């Protein structure tokens, strides 16, 4: 063993098993949190209708309850472990595998969760016919119009 290899992990024989098991664990983690959130949203919605207010209230309630926080934390841990399993065949440095990969996985999962929450709120607002102040490209009046020549 070379001195440079002292802190390295050994290569794996079957990278496919690592990747498939990691992806499976990530899917189970995300599906568990998503199912819990969906069931909670359906239960909180009045008459079964999910609105933007329902999503905000359910999110706020989940963060402040022990069960909700436990489930979110367990989902994050399982997702990051799945990321470690997927990255194991491709990384040999333990610091990268056990620090950088889980941090990137959790940050990525949080970013996707925030994006999904924003999309859900926008869709719920559009379904409730709420006027959204979205100016997407239109022929807006920025005050720099040219005078038309006659």
Per-residue model confidence (pLDDT) at position 110 = 84
Q: Is residue 72 part of a domain?
A: yes
pLDDT for residue 122: 81
Confidence of residue 45 (pLDDT cuts 50, 70, 90): low
Q: Within a domain: residue 82? A: yes
Domain presence at residue 79:
yes
| pLDDT score for 84 | 95
pLDDT at 16: 94
Task: Domain count for the chain, please give it.
Answer: 1
Whole-number mean pLDDT of the chain?
79
Is 54 a residue whose pLDDT tops 50?
Answer: yes
Q: Is residue 86 part of a domain?
A: yes
CB-based contact 25:81 (threshold 8 Å): yes
Considering the domain boundaries, does residue 22 fall inside one?
yes
Residue 17 within any structural domain of the chain? yes
Mean pLDDT of 2-26: 83
Residue 111 is part of which domain span?
Answer: 13-127
Average confidence (pLDDT) over 15-39: 90
- Between CA 95 and CA 132 the distance in angstroms is 46
Q: Is residue 8 part of a domain?
A: no
Count CB neighbours of 126 within 10 A: 13
20: in domain:
yes
Please report the pLDDT score of residue 126 as a whole number.
Answer: 78
Task: With CA atoms as reference, report the closest residue to 55 among 43, 67, 73.
Answer: 43
Statement: residue 86 has pLDDT above 90:
yes
Longest dimension (CA), the chain: 86
pLDDT at residue 139 is higher than 50: yes
User: Of the ranges 11-20, 71-80, 104-113, 137-146, which one carries the lowest mean pLDDT score?
Assistant: 137-146
What's the predicted TM-score (pTM) here? 0.67
Average pLDDT over residues 116-136: 74
Q: How far apart are CA 63 and CA 132, in angstroms?
A: 27
């Amino acid at each position: 063993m070379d001195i440079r290899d002292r802190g390295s992990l050994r290569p794996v024989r079957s990278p496919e098993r690592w990747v498939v098991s990691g992806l499976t664990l990530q899917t189970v983690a995300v599906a568990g949190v998503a199912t819990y959130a969906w069931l909670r949203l359906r239960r909180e919605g009045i008459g079964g209708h999910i609105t933007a207010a329902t999503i905000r209230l359910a999110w706020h309630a989940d963060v402040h309850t022990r069960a909700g926080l436990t489930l979110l934390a367990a989902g994050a841990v399982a997702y990051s472990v799945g990321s470690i399993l997927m990255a194991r065949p491709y990384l040999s440095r333990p610091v990268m595998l056990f620090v950088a990969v889980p941090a990137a996985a959790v940050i990525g999962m949080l970013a996707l969760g925030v994006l999904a929450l924003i999309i859900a709120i926008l869709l719920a607002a559009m379904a409730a016919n709420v006027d959204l102040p979205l100016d997407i490209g239109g022929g807006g009046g920025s005050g720099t119009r040219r005078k038309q020549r006659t």
